[in-house]
Amino acid sequence: MTTLKEIMSPKSIAIVGASDTKTRIGGRPLANMIEKKFTGEVYPINPNRDTVQGIKAYSSLLDVKEDLDFVLVSVPSKIVVSVLEEAVIKKAKTALIFSSGFSEIGIQGEILQNQIKKISQESGLRVIGPNCLGLFNSSNNFFPTFTSTVNRTNPKPGGFAIASQSGAYGSHIYMVAQERGLDITYWMTTGNEVDLSVGETIQLMAEDPEVHTIMAYAESVKNGPQFTKALDTARSEKKPVIFMKVGRSEVGAAAANSHTASLAGEDAIYDEVLRAHGAYRVKSTEEMLDVAYATKPRIFPVGKNLGIVTISGGGGVLMADAASDVGLTVGPMPQDAQDILKELVPFASPMNPVDVTAQFFNDLTIVPKFTDLMLSRGGYDALIGFWTSAAGSPVIAKPLLSSLKQAMTGYEEKLFINCMVASEEIVKTFEDEGFICIEDPTRAVVAMSALMFFGEKFNENKFKNNFNETDFLVKIPQKKLNEIDCSEILREAGLPIVSSFLINNIDELSAIFNENQNKYVMKIVSSEIQHKTDVGGVILNIEGVEQAKKAYEQILSNVKKNAPNAKIEGVMLSPMIQGGFECILGAKIDPVFGPIIMFGLGGIYAEIMKDIIFAEAPLSNEKAEEMILSLKCKDLFYGARGQVSIDVKALTKLMVTLSNFIAANKDQVDQVEMNPVIVSQDQIIALDALIITK
């Protein structure tokens, strides 16, 4: 298997399309490696010159006598395939393609790109790109890239790595990281990803001992299983993956066949997959860099109880609000510890945030005293100190740092973030002692939240569903299914679906109502009508045979008017179910990540409220309950405001059963939806069923 070292530390590189002009795309990589003294052999390939930038040039790869490890390609797209064929002959391990003019331009480019893919698959040549900006390894001065950022900076190895689908944005991330003092060991852009993807790059970085933190940027993922495996590897190695996923795609008309599909937008599924596999998703480059910077001490608090010590009551309140926004707890100090703090500083606010007041300026010894009490008695998983611009004063900075060092003695496993405004020189003195310094209090809290997320994920128990696909296979007709068909299939799979009668003749209604006194709902049955209400195909609260007959005729009339070409397969009659909450439970096969389960508030509120959650299928019971607890409306299920709680155990069983069904039948089924599912203390039952086959 390819390692990152094999790609990033070649003994030789040939640059096809090497230019004597240092500022050209084909000239910059050569200039970089000459100026920064790459230790390997460099072979410029240019049939029009004897030398390039003072180095002997060759007409083609085949003119180089030695075997080649790495081939950089910077020629027109129509020549790239022939260059790669020569690279294979020269036993190259890796080819990196700057050239554009492939799938991004349409069909002709796609044909060329498929030829590249075929060469890679058949020969084992690892291909990066095409249409990419390159990569670098700062530990050996290997710079096959034409980004100008490496000319303006001096990249140094430091354990951070960047994987980016976008070259330009990848350069942007590198540049701002460099300005924040984050030393980047590896930087790789993947472009069109004909072979090596961001997902596999994360995998390689997670496996490399030189990497401790990974920043990644992507617009899409092609290989879901490979991607999630990479995230799992990083999590098992306790290496944070800080991920920026852009591109909120709109759900197409074909996907709008069900609420499940229209709600399960691509972005919502990415959000869940990233979270479930331990990657922290950021919304901005600033957040990405804050979180990456905060990983430098390699301390990841397992809990979410945050202690705040501040010289400003207002700053403390601001941070407490920010902590609440990101799901952190700002728990109070024990009363006896508060009493001690009050004795030290009578005007202090000892709860949490702990406000040391302006006494801070008179007596810096209160800092270690307060901090020690918070760490020893408060049970906090981490602390943030808000010192504002006071810490920027040379008079205060040195004794404050000394006090903080004293305070943290014996608590080296605890993370302490300083929120302070100070010069680069002063900040560096704090950083050299292992302290993190972030100017803005809200950003400091968000960064802390990210580290606590990693701490949770690195120590998470991974619940497993003892899933055996053959146990849940169901024979499913490959046709458009009506609701009766769907109900029978899901009932066979072990899902509770309301019983119903199929009526093909109005006279059949008399026998049903002579035996039953219930209220009923009547619905049209047609495999060609999925949203029955839209065509007047549903009537509720039917009592007695006369109402039933009128409803029957009304439904047939409505459907013939509103959907004149739809094939009508009858009318179904089901008991009205009263009480409980209306939920939606659905599943779909995501084209990237495979079987996905969805649960949330249902009925007419499904698309209005959008209080829904997704997870990969199959589920464990623990994961199913975690989904319920993550909803805004979760208190409804657990007896909010004196209401009777529902049977959560039965609900989780229902969710797991559907997840097993979709995972086992993924080759036959595209979507499943039960909406609404009535959830109450006494029963959990689906009133509607929809299956869309492949």
Of 613, 611, 683, give the one whose Cα is nearest residue 654: 683
Residues 6+ apart with CB under 8 A from 378: 307, 331, 333, 334, 337, 352
How crowded is residue 523: how many other Cβ atoms within 10 Å of its Cβ?
23
pLDDT at position 604 over 70:
no
Tokens of 480: 């458009």
Q: At what angle do helices 621-629 and 648-664 cross, to 10 degrees?
A: 120
pLDDT at position 443 over 90:
yes
pLDDT at 346: 86
pLDDT tens digit sequence for 138-180: 999 999 999 999 988 889 999 999 999 999 999 999 999 999 9
pLDDT at 251: 39
pLDDT at position 252 over 60:
no
pLDDT tens digit sequence for 410-440: 999 999 999 999 999 999 999 999 999 999 9
What would the mean pLDDT of 109-137 be, rounded to a whole number?
Answer: 96
pLDDT at 516: 62
State the SS3 of 14-54: EEECCCCCCCCCCCHHHHHHHHCCCCCEEEEECCCCCEECC
Strand-pair category, 94-97 with 135-137: unpaired
The torsion defined by the Cα of 537, 540, 543 and 549, in degrees rounded to 10, comes to -10
Of 126, 164, 130, give the one whose Cα is nearest residue 4: 126
Integer Cα distance of 293 and 215 in angstroms:
11
Residues 6+ apart with CB under 8 A from 181: 293, 431
Integer Cα distance of 488 and 484 in angstroms:
6
Predicted model pTM? 0.92
pLDDT tens digit sequence for 309-322: 998 889 999 999 99
Q: Which strand (E) or helix (H) includes residue 613?
A: strand 612-616
Q: How confident is the model at residue 254 (pLDDT cuts 50, 70, 90)?
A: very low
pLDDT at 681: 85
pLDDT tens digit sequence for 196-232: 999 999 999 999 999 999 999 998 899 999 999 999 9
Tokens of 486: 């769907």
Mean pLDDT, the chain, rounded, equals 91
What would the mean pLDDT of 107-120 be, rounded to a whole number?
Answer: 95
In the chain, the domains with their CATH numbers are 4-294 (3.40.50.720), 306-458 (3.40.50.261), 499-575 (3.30.1490.20), 581-693 (3.30.470.20)
pLDDT tens digit sequence for 554-589: 999 999 999 999 999 999 999 988 888 889 999 999
pLDDT at position 262 over 70:
no
pLDDT at 231: 98
Residue 7 identity (one-letter amino acid): I
Residue 247 identity (one-letter amino acid): G
Q: How confident is the model at residue 364 (pLDDT cuts 50, 70, 90)?
A: confident
